[in-house]
Amino acid sequence: MKKSATREYYEAILVAVIFALFLRTFVFENFKIPSGSMENDLLIGDHLVVNKFIYGPHFHTILDKLLPFREPRRGDVVVFKFPEDPSRDFIKRCIGLPGDVVEVRRKQLYVNGKLQHEPYVIHKDPMVYPDSPMVPPSLRLRDNFGPYTVPPHSIFCMGDNRDNSLDSRFWGPVPRDYLQGRAVLIYWSWEAKPNDWQWRGFGHRFKQLANVFLHFFTRTRWNRTFKFIR
C-alpha cells in the first residue's frame, strides 16, 4: 500500500529530529563563549562546535578505527561541567594531566619543572603580586601557585586570559568524568557583551534575536567564521 505524502513527510522529519538529537547528545554540540577568560583565542560571542565523542568511553571495537577517540592532551581547549556546580559548563585549556606537577611562579607556568611555551596566553595586568600572606588569596594564587600534583582521573585547566580566569588554581582539578568534549571550530562569532546570552526571560531573549536579525551582517565577526581552535 502506497504511503500518503503526509505520512512520508512525517517520517522524514521524525528521522531528521532523531538524527539531530543523536548528534547533539553523542557527537557534536554548540557552545557559546560567555566571558573573556579565554581571550584572545576565544572571544565573547564566539559560537563553537564541540567534539563530544573524542573523550568518550570506547571498547576496542570497529568504532575506535572510525572515530578518533583519545585521552585529553596538554593544550586541548576543553568543555566540562564546573566542579563546584555541575549544572554549568565551563571552557578552559588543559595544561596538566594526571601525575603532572603544576606550578605558577610570577605568572610563568611550569609543568614538571619545565617552563611552558604558551603563545596563546595573555596578561592584561602588568602587576605581579608576591607569594605573601599579606596579599589577597585571589591575587596570590593568580600569580603564584603550587607546586601541585594533578590527581589520578583528573586534569588541570586554566584560562588563556590568565589575569582574569576562574580556573583550577582556585577550585581544583576537573574530574575526568566531567569532560564534555573538545572545542574544535568557531562556526559563528557575534559581537556580544559578557553573559549576553544568559537566560533572563522570554522578553530579553526576543530582543536578543531581533538584535541579531537587524545587525547580523554588521556585528558578525566574519574573519573568525570557521576558524579552527588551537
Q: What is the pLDDT of residues 66-88, one digit of tens each?
A: 666 789 999 999 999 999 999 89
Band (pLDDT 50/70/90 cuts) for residue 3 is low
Nearest C-alpha neighbor of 194 from the set 56, 12, 62, 37: 37
Mark whether 107 is an active-site residue: no
28 class by beta-carbon count within 10 Å (0-12 exposed, 13-18 middle, 19+ buried): middle
Cell (9 digits) for 17? 529530529
pLDDT of residue 191: 87
Of the listed 3, 32, 35, 37, which one is catalytic? 37
| Active-site residue, selected from the candidate residues 4, 52, 65, 92 | 92
The domain of 125 spans: 5-228
Tens-place pLDDT, residues 145-171: 989 999 999 999 999 999 999 999 999
Active site (annotated) includes residue 92: yes
CATH number at residue 25: 2.10.109.10
Task: Quote the number of domains for the chain.
Answer: 1
